Structures are given as structure tokens and as C-alpha cells.
Amino acid sequence: MNASNRFSSFLIGALAIAVVGSSSPAFARPTRVHLKNAPIILVRDKSGNPVASIDNQLISENWSGYVLSTVETRKRYKSASASWVVPEVTYQGVQAISANWVGIGGFCKSKKCKPDKTLIQLGTYQAAFSEGDIEYFAWYEMIPAASIPIDTIDVSPGDTMTASLTCAGKCKNNQKWTLSIDDVTSGQSFSQVFSYKSSKLSVDWIEEAPSSGSGILPLADFDKTFFTASVVNGDSANLDDAISLQMQNPNGQFSSVAPPDSSMDGFAACFSDSGFVACTDP
């Protein structure tokens, strides 16, 4: 049985859903230091049960991608990495942002999906504020703090990025995490060690709609983006064992994900403003 199918059968109650209108409201242009990512927010029915698509992908308001969870695998996660090509975003009449990232935590910490409030991550933002104001930049974040821009890397659409996070030693009480991100195209890089107490309960490869003080932001039109070379705990990820997530943004945008590629360590995500679409690899 597919992991998404198994997992959606017992997820009940727990994650609160933000009350947001279905239209895309105007929001104050967030600065780089005010953007935040968030743990997953699942779409739920009136009984509080998570909603799954017809092919058993869980539906989230802010995440799309793949997650390996301790609830399913019984494993703890102390390292992860991935590569992606920075997607070019276009302005569609509303200020909007997308984020590509790899991280650990932020999913569920029990079969009833009690929320995991720890999340350490890094990636790229693609922000379309107007026709003439489109920004791309790298960042890292350790929830509950806001994301921190990485100013030593000049990100451009089409750049190949590789990001990783690794916890040293036994990674127990005094956790030391090395966060690294490289712009392979430009040759610029960033690496730094941080102290952070992570649950180590999931590893996530995600296309996200970030948040600000007004809640989940509209998702920028990234067309299609690809994650490749996903690694977990030092081994190539088997995404066939992972939980698949589609995004139904409360502002009216969607992100669908393709099945894992032939190597089982990569996938495509596809943008839509009119519902879920069939998303495929090249």
C-alpha cells in the first residue's frame, strides 16, 4: 500500500487551519526579514479528518512535495539534501511568493498528527511583487524564528542549487547543525553551524507558499520546478516510501506533484491557478 494511502487512513484532528478567504487579498509587501515558512497545515473536512486527493495524496494549504515521516518509517533524521533549478516566476496581478526548500521537522509527530513545531530548513525564495519587482534569494530558517536571507549568494532563475543540513555526532541534547547551500551555477556558497533542538521526525522536500503576518501568502506562478538528488541520512532517498503532498492555497493557487522519477530521488511540482493538474517529469 502506498505510504500516502496508509498515512491518510489514520490522520485525525490536530493541526489548526488558518481562517482565510478564498480570494487573494492584497498584503503589505513583506521585506526579506519578515517572511516565514511554517509547519504543514493540512486541509481537513468538517469532521477534522485530513483530505486526500483521488490518488491518495494528502492536501495541504502551504506545502507540496514529499515527506519521509518517523510515524511511517520509525527512523529519526539527522541529515538531508537536495538539488533544484530555481524556477522563474511571473507576476499574475497579485503579490505572490514561492519557496523551494529541504528541511527536517514540521510534519506530524503522532498517528493523530499532533503538529511538530520544530523545523530547520534552507532554500530559495521566488517573489513576484509586481511586473518590475521580482526577486530571488537564498535563505535559512529555524522555526519559530523568521527566515534569514543569505546575502552572500546572488540567486537568479535557472541557477542550479544544492542544499544540505547535517547534525553532528549523535545529535541528541546539544544538537549542532551545519546548514550549507551552493549556487552551482555561480559558484557562490554559504555554510554555517547552528545550535537547534530538532525533533528529527521527518525529512521534507517542499515547494511552499510562505507566510507573513497576514497568514499564508499567494503562491507565485513557478510553472514547473524539479527536485533531484534527494538524500536522507547519507543515502539516496526512496520517495516511493514517502508521503506525497499537493497544495491547495487558500488564496486560490495550486501545486501538484508528479510521481517520483525513475531514480526515486526526485520529482516535479507544477503550478496551477485553476485546480490540480497532471504533473509529470520531463
pLDDT digits (tens, 9 = 90+) for 23-34: 444 455 555 546
Q: Which of 3-17, 36-50, 54-68, 109-123 has the lowest mean pLDDT?
A: 3-17
Q: Where are the domains of the chain?
A: 3-19+32-272
Residue 202, exposed/middle/buried by CB under 10 A (0-12, 13-18, 19+)? buried
The neighbouring-strand residues paired with 82 are 163
Does the pLDDT at position 13 exceed 70? no
31: helix, coil or strand? coil
Note the pLDDT tens digit of each residue in 149-208.
Answer: 999 999 999 999 999 999 999 999 999 999 999 999 999 999 999 999 999 999 999 999
Note the pLDDT tens digit of each residue in 75-122.
Answer: 999 999 999 999 999 999 999 999 999 999 999 988 777 789 999 999
Does the pLDDT at position 2 exceed 90? no
Q: What residues have CB less than 8 Å from 81, skipping those under 6 apart?
A: 102, 162, 163, 164, 165, 229, 230, 231
- Tell me, what's the pLDDT at 202? 98
Mean pLDDT calculated for residue range 218-233:
98
Query: What backbone phi and psi angles, to 5 degrees, belong to 111?
Result: -65, -25
Euclidean distance between CA atoms 197 and 155, whole angstroms? 29
Fold for the domain defined by 3-19+32-272 = Jelly Rolls (2.60.120)
